[in-house]
C-alpha cells in the first residue's frame, strides 16, 4: 500500500460496505461518487458547489488534460487540484478510454497507443509509462493504470487479448515512480464474461495495487449484463482495498453495485444529463423542456434542499432551458449532484445502520403520473 494512502471499512451490511479512504489531500467516505471534471472543471459548476453537493473526490481526464492545457503546465501550477481550485483529493484516469473513444487513427500495440488529437490532429503516443508520468505531473491522489478497454460488443477473443495486454501493461506500471502519496489502482477487464473477469482479477491481485477497478462496463452491453457481472465479480475483489466501478452510472446502477460491495464510482450522467435538461428525482427523471412544466410552480423535487430546488420553480427552469440561458445548466447540474450526493450519504448511513436493503428499496418512489 502506498504510504499516505489507506482504506478502512467501518461497517458491512451483506456485501455492502462503508468506510473511508485516506489520501494526502483529505478523506473520502465510501461508498463515494466522484463527479467528472473532464477538463479541470466539473461542467457548469464551481468547485465549492461541487463540494457542497457532498462530493469528496473529483475525477480528471488525463486524455483531455494532456492535450489542453498540457500536464506540464498543470504540474507547474501545483497539480490538478490546485490548478482548478479544488480543495480535496482527485483521481485521474489513464487516458486510455478517451484515446479509444475520441482519438483518431488509433494504432495500438504492446508498446501503447498512438493516436491523433481530436482537437487539432496532432499525433500523440500514450504508453503505459507515459500514462503514469502524466498522472504524476497532474499530481492526482489516485492514478489509474493504462488499460485496453474493448467495446461492449467485442467478441470473447478480443476481450481476452485486451485483458492480456492490460495485464502486461499493469505489470510494467506498478513499479514506476510516482509522486509521494499517489496511490495506483489496477483495472480488471474481461467484458461480460465472469470467468475472464475472475481470471483477470487473479492476474492483477499479486501486483499489489492500492485498489482495483472494474473497467469496460457500461460500454454498450445490456444493463442487466453489467449488473450481473458486478454481482458476480465485485464480492471476489480484495476486501481490504477500494473497489471502483468505472464510468457507472444511474442511481439504480449505483444502488445495485453498492449492494455488491463497490466503494467508488464516477460518471458524467448527473452533469451531462443536466445540460440536456434532465433532472434526477426520487420518482425517476424530469425532462424540464416538456410543455407540462410551463406553469409548474413546484421545485424540481419538492423537499430537496439543493440550491436549485430551494430557490427556483420548474416553470422558470423550463423558461431558461427553452430560451437557452446557461444558468439552467448550472441549476440542473447542482440538483443532480446533490441528488447523487444524497444517494451516497444515505447509502453510507444505511449500511452503517444495517438497513441498506430497505434504503435501496425505498430510494425510488412509485412513479407519479402527474410527473
Q: Does 325 interact with a second copy (rule: CB under 8 A)?
A: yes
Q: Among this protein's residues, is 155 annotated catalytic?
A: no
From the list 13, 93, 263, 296, the catalytic residue is 93
All three cell numbers of 289: 423542456
Q: Does 314 interact with a second copy (rule: CB under 8 A)?
A: no
CA-CA-CA-CA dihedral for 191, 192, 196, 200, to nearest 10: 50
DSSP code, position 141: S
* Phi, psi of 289, deg, nearest 5: -75, -10
In the bound state with a second copy, the residue whose beta carbon lies nearer, of 278 and 322, is 322
Q: Does 326 interact with a second copy (rule: CB under 8 A)?
A: yes
* Phi, psi of 335, deg, nearest 5: -60, -50
Distance of alpha carbon 327 from alpha carbon 338, whole angstroms: 17
Region binding a second copy by CB under 8 A among candidate stretches 70-78, 148-156, 235-243, 264-272: 70-78
All three cell numbers of 229: 457481472
Distance of alpha carbon 88 from alpha carbon 82, whole angstroms: 9
In the bound state with a second copy, the residue whose beta carbon lies nearer, of 252 and 315, is 315
Region binding a second copy by CB under 8 A among candidate stretches 33-41, 51-59, 120-128, 141-149: 33-41
Q: Which residue has 506500471 as its cell numbers?
A: 173
Q: Does 316 interact with a second copy (rule: CB under 8 A)?
A: yes
Q: Among this protein's residues, is 141 annotated catalytic?
A: no
**Within 74-103, which residues bind a second copy (CB under 8 A)?**
76-77, 83-85
> Shortest gap between Cβ of 268 and a second copy (angstroms)?
14
Provide the pairing of β-strand 123-126 with 142-144: unpaired
All three cell numbers of 26: 483529505
> Shortest gap between Cβ of 298 and a second copy (angstroms)?
13
In the bound state with a second copy, the residue whose beta carbon lies nearer, of 83 and 356, is 83
From the list 13, 147, 253, 266, the catalytic residue is 266
In the bound state with a second copy, the residue whose beta carbon lies nearer, of 232 and 313, is 313
> Shortest gap between Cβ of 344 and a second copy (angstroms)?
23
Size, binding site for a second copy by CB under 8 A? 36
CB atoms within 10 A of CB 218: 19
Distance of alpha carbon 96 from alpha carbon 111, whole angstroms: 13
Of the candidates 4, 29, 46, 284, which one interacts with a second copy according to CB under 8 A? Answer: 46
Q: Does 163 interact with a second copy (rule: CB under 8 A)?
A: no
Provide the pairing of β-strand 26-30 with 183-188: unpaired
The strand order across the sheet containing 112-116 reads 104-109, 112-116, 123-126
Q: Does 122 interact with a second copy (rule: CB under 8 A)?
A: no
Q: Does 156 interact with a second copy (rule: CB under 8 A)?
A: no
The 271-310 site mask, x for binding a second copy (CB under 8 A), equals -----------------------xx-x-------------
**Within 179-218, which residues bind a second copy (CB under 8 A)?**
none
Q: Where are the beta strands (DSSP E) in 43-153?
A: 58-60, 90-92, 104-109, 112-116, 123-126, 142-144
Distance of alpha carbon 226 from alpha carbon 232, whole angstroms: 10
List, in sequence order, every residue forming a beta bridge with 108; answer none if it has no partner: 113
> Shortest gap between Cβ of 219 and a second copy (angstroms)?
25
Sites of contact with a second copy (CB under 8 A): 39-41, 43-48, 64, 68-69, 73, 76-77, 83-85, 294-295, 297, 311-313, 315-316, 319-320, 322-323, 325-327, 329-331
Active site residues: 93, 266
Amino acid at each position: 500500500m502506498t504510504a499516505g494512502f489507506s482504506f478502512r471499512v467501518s461497517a458491512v451490511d451483506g456485501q455492502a460496505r462503508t468506510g473511508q479512504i485516506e489520501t494526502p489531500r483529505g478523506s473520502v467516505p465510501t461508498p463515494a461518487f466522484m463527479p467528472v471534471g473532464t477538463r479541470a472543471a466539473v461542467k457548469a459548476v464551481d468547485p465549492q458547489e461541487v463540494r457542497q453537493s457532498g462530493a469528496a473526490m473529483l475525477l480528471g481526464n488525463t486524455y483531455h488534460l494532456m492535450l489542453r492545457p498540457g500536464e506540464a503546465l498543470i504540474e507547474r501550477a501545483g497539480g490538478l487540484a490546485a490548478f482548478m481550485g479544488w480543495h480535496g483529493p482527485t483521481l485521474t484516469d489513464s487516458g486510455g478510454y478517451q484515446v479509444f473513444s475520441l482519438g483518431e487513427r488509433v494504432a495500438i500495440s504492446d508498446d501503447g497507443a498512438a493516436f491523433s488529437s481530436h482537437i487539432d490532429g496532432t499525433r500523440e503516443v500514450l504508453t503505459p509509462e507515459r500514462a503514469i508520468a502524466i498522472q504524476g505531473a497532474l499530481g492526482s491522489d489516485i492514478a489509474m493504470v493504462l488499460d485496453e478497454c474493448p467495446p461492449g460488443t467485442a467478441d470473447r477473443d478480443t476481450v481476452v487479448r485486451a485483458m492480456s495486454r492490460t495485464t502486461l501493461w499493469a505489470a510494467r506500471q506498478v513499479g514506476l515512480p510516482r509522486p509521494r502519496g499517489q496511490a495506483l489502482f489496477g483495472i480488471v477487464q474481461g467484458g461480460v464474461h465472469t470467468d475472464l473477469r475472475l481470471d483477470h482479477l487473479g492476474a492483477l491481485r499479486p501486483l499489489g495495487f492500492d485498489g482495483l477497478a472494474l473497467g469496460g462496463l457500461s460500454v454498450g452491453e445490456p444493463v442487466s449484463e453489467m449488473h450481473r457481472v458486478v454481482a458476480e465479480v465485485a464480492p471476489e475483489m480484495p476486501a481490504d482495498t477500494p473497489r471502483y466501478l468505472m464510468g457507472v452510472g444511474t442511481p439504480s446502477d449505483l444502488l445495485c453495485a453498492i449492494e455488491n460491495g463497490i466503494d467508488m464510482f464516477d460518471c458524467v450522467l448527473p452533469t451531462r444529463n443536466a445540460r440536456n435538461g434532465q433532472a434526477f428525482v426520487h420518482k425517476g427523471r424530469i425532462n424540464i423542456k416538456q410543455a407540462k412544466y410551463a406553469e409548474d410552480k413546484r421545485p424540481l423535487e419538492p423537499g430537496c434542499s439543493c440550491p436549485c430546488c430551494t430557490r427556483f420553480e420548474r416553470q422558470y427552469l423550463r423558461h431558461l432551458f427553452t430560451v437557452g440561458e446557461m444558468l439552467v445548466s448550472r441549476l440542473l447540474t447542482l440538483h443532480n449532484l446533490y441528488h447523487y450526493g444524497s444517494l451516497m450519504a444515505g447509502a453510507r448511513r444505511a449500511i452503517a445502520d444495517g438497513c441498506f436493503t430497505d434504503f435501496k428499496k425505498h430510494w425510488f418512489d412509485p412513479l407519479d403520473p402527474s410527473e
